[in-house]
Structure 1
């Protein structure tokens, strides 16, 4: 099994098979516009610009499951990402990434690459840990997605190679991307 067995709807509402990205290195990310990690959009776009001509694609999946940090419509999300961060990588419609209503792609990703823990030295980690501990301790159960901006690196054959939590900066992800390119 690989990510190519899944499909998702683009912001325009068109169903797209991830098989359309066969032969590309993918970074699949659940994103949110009002998250403490939203600044990562800037680095995601920089990575996309730097490597897209070498077969690298980022797939963004907005999610409102974590503290309602993506409350707007798909149009709102698209406008925000485009105007605020100049996002040009493919963005899909809002999905759930954990629990019973999770998009099957994210259930698959989390099952293949379990949660390895957060980077406790990250500048946003202290706030994130307190928020999860006080308001959402259930998020820490199992290997599901724990927060926005969880990143999954996929090789050119559609295999999940690595999982990077929201507390992993994209500078630390870049060498892993380069190795697959």
Structure 2
């Protein structure tokens, strides 16, 4: 019973933070919703965190291009399995964001939050495996990503991390979402 109460309290707090962030108008927000470039992130630490996947072929050009668009520097150093795991982590993070933010998950201001969440997932073997398995099921079933992942301990952990990152970004003033 205690864990359920904690999860309920965290959910209520998170929903309140999301509401405040999404609904608060920003006086200085630009009128366009054009994407802003995220600061680059080094892919080498992720390569080290995913050494268990450092085998076989190199990342494909398509994987490298997708990771480069996310702002990962040196994505070509990743193996195909590592790049695939990171892209699965990205899709899992997007699916969790769909669950938490609804249609607002696509707002450009949330891109950094999604990328940081993908890094968190890819850096944790248990979460990474859950994301890869979920993505494989979607792919084999012909479903498109992103989609909301099923209720699981992995999804709860990822959403707790998203709530933490969102609260930190809100507190530092680094996150503003256009309304």
**TM-score with structure 2 setting the length:** 0.28
Hey, which of these two has a bigger chunk of helix by percent? 2
Hey, which of these two has a bigger chunk of strand by percent? 1
Larger Rg: 2
**TM-score with structure 1 setting the length:** 0.28
